[in-house]
Chain A
Amino acid sequence: MAKIKIPENKVQELKDLCAQFKNEPGELINVLHGAQGMFGYLPAEVQEIVAEGMNVSLAHVYGVVTFYSFFSMLPKGKHPISICMGTACYVRGAEKVLDEFKRHLDVKVGDTTPDGKFSLSCLRCVGACGLAPVVTIGERVYGRVSPEDVKGILGEY
Chain B
Amino acid sequence: MAKYKNHILVCAGTGCRASESEAIAVNLKRSIDENNLENDVQVVRTGCFGFCEKGPVVKMVPDNTFYVQVTPDDAEDLVLEHLIKGRKVDRLLYVDPETKEQVSDSKHMDFYKKQIRIALRNCGFINPENIDEYIARDGYSALGTILDEMSPESAIKIIKDSGLRGRGGGGFPTGLKWEITRKSESDQKYVVCNADEGDPGAFMDRSILEGDPHSVLEAMAICGYCIGADSGLIYIRAEYPLAIKRLKVAINQAREYGLLGNDIFGSGFCFDVEIRYGAGAFVCGEETALIHSMEGLRGEPTVKPPFPSVSGYKGKPTNVNNVETFANIPAIFLKGADWFRQIGTEKSSGTKVFALAGKVNNVGLIEVPMGTTLREVIFDIGGGIKGGKKFKAVQTGGPSGGCLTEHHLDLPIDYDSLIASGSMMGSGGMIVMDEDDCMVSVAKFYLDFTVEESCGKCTPCRIGNKRLYELLEKITLGKGDEGDLTRLRNLGNVIKDTALCGLGQTSPNPVLSTMDNFPEEYEAHVKESKCPAGQCRALMQYVVSPKLCTGCTLCARVCPVDAISGDKKMPHFINTSICIKCGACMDKCKFGAISIQ
Check B395 for interface membership: any CB of A closer than 8 A.
yes
Given A29-B277, A33-B238, A124-B198, are A87 and B14 also a contact pair (CB < 8 Å)? no
Cα distance A139–B462 when bound, in Å? Answer: 34
Closest to B284 in A: A68
A:29-44 near B, CB below 8 Å = 29-30, 32-33
Q: Within the complex, what minimum Cβ distance (angstroms) separates A37 from chain B?
A: 10
Is B198 within 8 A of A130, CB to CB?
A: no
Cα distance A91–B395 when bound, in Å? Answer: 11
Check B19 for interface membership: any CB of A closer than 8 A.
yes
Is A29 within 8 A of B359, CB to CB?
A: no
Check A15 for interface membership: any CB of B closer than 8 A.
no
State which of A2-10, A20-28, A73-81, A111-119 sits at the interface with chain B. A20-28
B:274-304 near A, CB below 8 Å = 276-282, 293-299
* B-chain residues with CB within 8 Å of residue A92 when the two chains form the complex: 358-359
Check A19 for interface membership: any CB of B closer than 8 A.
no
Q: Which of A63, A71, A129 contacts B201 (CB 8 A)?
A: A129
Is B201 within 8 A of A86, CB to CB?
A: yes
* B-chain residues with CB within 8 Å of residue A70 when the two chains form the complex: 238-239, 278-280
Given A64-B298, A96-B582, are A87 and B18 also a contact pair (CB < 8 Å)? no
Q: Which of B201, B206, B276, B455 contacts A88 (CB 8 A)?
A: B201
Is A103 within 8 A of B560, CB to CB?
A: yes
Is B239 within 8 A of A123, CB to CB?
A: yes
Check A49 for interface membership: any CB of B closer than 8 A.
no
State which of B58-66, B170-178, B429-437, B542-550 sits at the interface with chain A. B429-437
Is A129 within 8 A of B355, CB to CB?
A: yes
Q: Within the complex, what minimum Cβ distance (angstroms) separates A54 from chain B?
A: 8
Is B279 within 8 A of A29, CB to CB?
A: yes
Closest to A142 in B: B18
* A-chain residues with CB within 8 Å of residue B359 when the two chains form the complex: 91-92
Check B464 for interface membership: any CB of A closer than 8 A.
no
Given A123-B239, A130-B364, are A87 and B296 also a contact pair (CB < 8 Å)? no
Check B501 for interface membership: any CB of A closer than 8 A.
no
* B-chain residues with CB within 8 Å of residue A123 when the two chains form the complex: 239
Check B200 for interface membership: any CB of A closer than 8 A.
yes
Closest to B355 in A: A129
Check A105 for interface membership: any CB of B closer than 8 A.
no
Range, interface on chain A: 35 or more
Check B583 for interface membership: any CB of A closer than 8 A.
yes
Check B202 for interface membership: any CB of A closer than 8 A.
yes
Is A64 within 8 A of B584, CB to CB?
A: no
* A-chain residues with CB within 8 Å of residue B206 when the two chains form the complex: 127
Check A147 for interface membership: any CB of B closer than 8 A.
yes
Cα distance A78–B455 when bound, in Å? Answer: 30
Given contacts A91-B442, A132-B358, 14 further A-B contacts (CB under 8 A): A28-B296, A29-B276, A29-B279, A64-B297, A70-B279, A86-B200, A86-B201, A87-B200, A88-B358, A92-B358, A96-B583, A103-B560, A127-B206, A129-B52
Interface residues of A (CB under 8 A from B): 25-30, 32-33, 63-64, 67-71, 85-88, 90-92, 96, 99-100, 103, 123-132, 134, 141, 143, 147-148
- Provide a sorted-by-A list of 29 A–B residue pairs whose CB atoms are within 8 angstroms: A29-B293, A30-B276, A33-B238, A33-B277, A33-B279, A64-B298, A67-B281, A68-B299, A69-B452, A70-B239, A71-B279, A88-B200, A91-B358, A91-B442, A100-B582, A124-B282, A127-B14, A127-B206, A127-B240, A128-B14, A129-B201, A129-B358, A130-B52, A130-B55, A130-B363, A132-B363, A134-B18, A143-B19, A147-B584
